[in-house]
Amino acid sequence: MHIVMLLYPGLTQLDLTGPYEVFSRIPDTKISLAWKTAEPVADGGGLAILPTVTLDHCAPADILFVPGGPGQLTIMEDEAVLGFLRRQAERARYVTSVCTGSLILGAAGLLTGHRATCHWLSLDQLAAFGAEPVAERVVIDGNRITGAGVTSGIDFALTLVAELHGERMARMIQLSMEYDPAPPFDGGSPKSETPEIVAALRSRSEAFQAERLAAAKRIGAIVRAD
């Protein structure tokens, strides 16, 4: 099985590396980290990740995966990347994402008419691309599987493993990673966090979310017209 994971500048590394850790434990699986060049790609925090293949030389994917991150804003208008995703999606068994990676899939026209999820701050923006936003941690709609924000990437990947190889393998991988979350605080979701902290985070990200929403509406209009 060949899993193609898109790299791009400004991604959120945990969107990528959480699922990567799960995928790397699936037997007989090849993982390709694909970008335009073979040069290191810096995530939003400056961590450098090395691509293993360029977009032009990437073999067809069985699983196509797109992470999110602040760099998503630029990628939504990068026709070279969007064209790559469209071509890969034609033959992929599953087309997937975590966090705002679903907005990139939307910009490529790959979520039109599908139920999908995203980071809660950007969830409503999926509607601009003709997708149905769903406030769930992992959403499966046909061969589209999307995960919510950042840490949901591990849940997403384990869900995908269960779809591919059954619950037993997924549970074994979960155990091998000792994935037994016990967060120090009863938060991490707008449903469980205090209204004050939710409002504070919304305020802190307001300017960037406005920019992201404007881009989603502009690009989404083009996608829906096509």
| Annotation says 58 is catalytic | no
Tell me if 99 sits within 8 A of 129, measured CB to CB: no
Residues in the chain: 226
Q: Report the first-to-last Cα separation within the chain, whole angstroms.
A: 32
- The pTM for the full model equals 0.97
* pLDDT in the model for residue 193: 96
pLDDT of residue 6: 98
For position 111, what pLDDT does the model report? 98
Q: At the fourth CATH level, which superfamily is domain 2-225?
A: Class I glutamine amidotransferase (GATase) domain (3.40.50.880)
Q: Where are the domains of the chain?
A: 2-225
Which residue among 4, 6, 76, 99 is the active-site one?
A: 99
Block means of pLDDT (10 residues each) for the chain, 226 residues, are 98 98 97 98 98 98 98 97 98 98 98 98 97 98 98 98 98 98 94 96 96 95 91
Which residue type sits at 208? F
pLDDT at 226: 83
DSSP one-letter string for the chain: -EEEEE--TT--HHHHHHHHHHHTTSTT-EEEEEESSSS-EE-TTS-EE--SEEGGGPPPPSEEEE--STTHHHHTT-HHHHHHHHHHHHH-SEEEEETTHHHHHHHTT-STT-EE---TTTGGGGGGGT-EE--SSEEEETTEEEE-STTHHHHHHHHHHHHHH-HHHHHHHHHHTT-----SSS-SSTTTS-HHHHHHHHHHTHHHHHHHHHHHHHHHHHHHH-
